Chain A
Amino acid sequence: MTIKEIQEEIIDEFSMFDDWMQRYEYMIELGKSLPLIAEQYKTDDNLIKGCQSKVWVHAELDGDKLVFTADSDAIITKGIIAILVRTFSNQKPQDIIDADVEFIDEIGLKEHLSPTRANGLVSMIKQLKLYAVAYQTQLK
């Protein structure tokens, strides 16, 4: 599936819910399906700055695709990073670089997109894209 298709699938899933509580509960559920980062990568170097809770992300190439694993000590943050990892993992670095994240707005999590928000969704997106840029250079 392309990034766009995955995003549409997520939008579709969230459209079933009519209030914030159900959306958050689903996000927490999604957090449980997050491909967890191996303990050895849970280092300060892999911590994303700008989050009130801890978020670790690791990336590695599988052929020409980038695979992300992550974890967080806060469950809502874990749900957010799970949504991002589901969108961007197993994609080509260039596609990750080119992707937009407007779907966040459509699934009712727009409030998390503010750059001043302490959970650092913006920092998380930036970090995933930075990995993509780094590996894109390596692929070349």
Chain B
Amino acid sequence: MEVKILSAKFDIKDAHMLEVAKQHGAYSQLDKLFSMEPVAVIEEVKNSGLRGRGGAGFPAGLKWSFLPKGLNKPVYLTVNSDESEPATFKDRYILVRDPHMMIEGIIICCYAIGCHDAYIYIRGEYTSQVKALQKAIDEAYAAGYLGEKVAGHDFKLDVTVHRGAGAYICGEETALLESIEGKKGQPRSKPPFPAVEGLYGCPTIINNVQTIASLPYIIENGAAAYKQYGTEKSPGTHLFGISGHVNKPGMYELPLGLPILDVIEKVAGGVLNGKKLKAIIPGGSSTPVQTPEDAKDLTLDYESMAAHKTMFGSGGIVVLDETVDIVKLVENLAQFYHHESCGQCTPCREGLGWILKIVKKILRGDGTSADIDLLVELCDNIEMKTVCVLSAACTMPVRSYLIKFRHEFEAYVKKGASAQANVKQG
């Protein structure tokens, strides 16, 4: 099932070094690139159907075409390598094992959109990754792939690495921009969208690492070759991080559209120790959970995920076996999102903490059925009332657990009630 497009050089020794990467085709597409018109590059990417790999899956070429024309302002590219969604570990492979693929992608994107200053926003915890990336960028500068004349062509491009301080919210594109500008990482209200008014008030394109890293293949082989993989509406390949209770957890490159249960069984070696499958988190912690029943006809593409009322997300699949306590999982989830709420909008700031406290109350055995109802209502009251979607990233999965695993919450309520009754009688 596995394919090797993005991960082609991952297993080659020292492929992160420029010399080795070049032997395997890195930067080989630049002459072809500069012979094309920028609009033709955008057109090719549009035709490839490449969708943003950060989670939302917005078509990359279409996003680029939203840049306003004829503005007397610089255009910026920001590569989002915050990779902060729990259960996601794909971009780090690119940053460490094949950073030149991404740098080449940056050159392609910048040429297409007319950008001369690209920023890579990398999460603070990625210490070894930032070193590897910076080393590769230094190599690229020294070799003339970056700087005044990219690969000898009349095109200037500077790439700057900006380290975050480890906030989940800085993976949200406008919080990311605020962070680069030296401000507190808090999302901006949209409109204006970054393509119109982004970094330093200038038109800005923000793409995920994997989106950018997919570009050299598309330029080399053309849109049609890329579309051979995946489904019609979700073409291409994706780096999936499979974790949790499986025999072979890890990062796997797969074409989109494969049945999720097959992937768990055949690629990840099935549920750990032959236990029973309880649930699947399909695309990172913020995506609504799927029961084995739900997942029967679920395939790994944007459309199937949407049809199952969940999301493709970041490709971080978490497999949960029968031993998992869903209420404790929800506590963990709520704890994370509560902690990471930037504190800007009222419902998210106050509401996520409230949700967490109610879940803790239920876990303590002090909860009631009304508390479970209240949790569901709070999810509705918070969701989509905020500047960004962090609140929804918490409420969507929490609601899915509350509805699909309500009996586990009720069990805690019942256990608590009978324990209290015993205390009273005793």
A binds B: no
Give the interface of A toward B (CB within 8 A): none
Chain B residues in contact with chain A, CB under 8 A?
Answer: none
